[in-house]
A = this chain, B = another copy of it.
């Protein structure tokens, strides 16, 4: 039995996909969420044994968008597979979602059978599902000679400011507030304020969790 969670702000979209999957009784819907924030909160309070195996995530959502939610959750829950399920196929979004940790990228226009098949295959073989047109775009990205430009765009999944990146770097060195403050000549209180802002952007609530994301996502 494959446990699924669906994240989409439109109730109708959620209904369509859950209906598609419910026709196949290998799938169980664990929960639904309306945005990234809601999703991360529901994950936190979920016992580990009830955690979904696969997340189907829309990208365009209010509050916390899909990309940053995938970025956080794929570090926090490395065993869970994140599949983008959206109507958009523009290069920038695809690239950002994949770099954030998505293992698959399906277009909503795919039929229920195709989606179910691909999720089954993901479960059995670990191969992420990719719509053919998306696959081709990814190929083109690899083909692109100047990936330097792309890297800069993707680098900032979490929209950290320069100062925040600097603080995160110092945090990773094991320094505490007052040490960081002394090193860059600001008050420890300010350092703390920056840290809390960083945690909010990474959707975590402790230094260890922030560092996990920083290390696994190559932020430092």
Contacts and interface: CB of A to CB of B under 8 A. Distances in A.
Nearest to A118: B132
Size category, A interface = 35 or more
A166 B26 CA distance: 33
Interface of A: 48, 76, 95, 98-99, 101, 103-105, 118, 121, 125, 127-130, 132-136, 138-139, 141-143, 145-147, 151, 171-176, 183, 204, 206-212, 215, 217-218
Given A135-B135, A208-B211, A143 B101 contact: yes
Q: Describe A's contact surface by its main secondary structure.
A: helix
A41 to B, nearest CB: 15
Contacts of A171: 208
Contacts of A145: 217-218
A98 B174 contact: no
A209 B208 CA distance: 10
Nearest to A130: B135
Contact of A95 (B104, B142, B211): B142
Given A98-B143, A146-B151, A218-B147, A174 B209 contact: yes
